[in-house]
Structure 1
């Protein structure tokens, strides 16, 4: 008589342990999901802040704007020597444009640190990416700006 009762109690205890283990795992999984979500939000915020701090300001002169050019996406790349001296920019033209554009780079204090020219041949209503390669000593550092003239 005691054996069946002991087996019944033992089964009940094991069943309760399994239920508790399942609930614990479930709670830990939910907590992990929340922590992962919060960490992702923090990382995205930090990334956005760093992108703003290191962003390169590129602008078109009033003359180029009046000739129908507009600036789209801009990014910079690092060359083989480790300097960030290449700018990739998207130019669109509302009117046909065929000329040479001069890009002038300035450091954060407004001092000129590089100058290069590139040819643009654009039909009215077109747009295209252009690579602007500065001299090897030009390093488009944090808070630099480039004027297109």
Structure 2
């Protein structure tokens, strides 16, 4: 009977170890950052769209976090696609580096502009809608060109 109780967790651990992405690999690191960016931006958009109560302090700290996060995933795209990597990134990321970097800088600029928009206190959600939309648009532009859905 004891072996049955041990078998279930052991099986779960074995399945968890199969497949997946090494969290220390460049792909694993950029996926983690992109997931964090998504979570933060969803919260910000949720506050402006009424899904989450607007909290000025949380909004400002979220924008600061997003601004920092947007500067980090690009370093985890090696110069060439790693052999055997199954990624949602299209080969164009590596073949059209100049355009990819251009969109990365546009993303950074959009979050910096949003951060600047939070400097005027008290915050007015209606004044933040356009800068948040520009951040979302910059994400979408890169996804449309460089992400395989």
Larger Rg: 1
Specify which structure has the higher proportion of helix. Answer: 2
Superposition TM-score, scaled by structure 2 size = 0.33
Larger strand proportion, structure 1 or 2?
1
Q: Normalised by the size of structure 1, how large is the TM-score?
A: 0.33
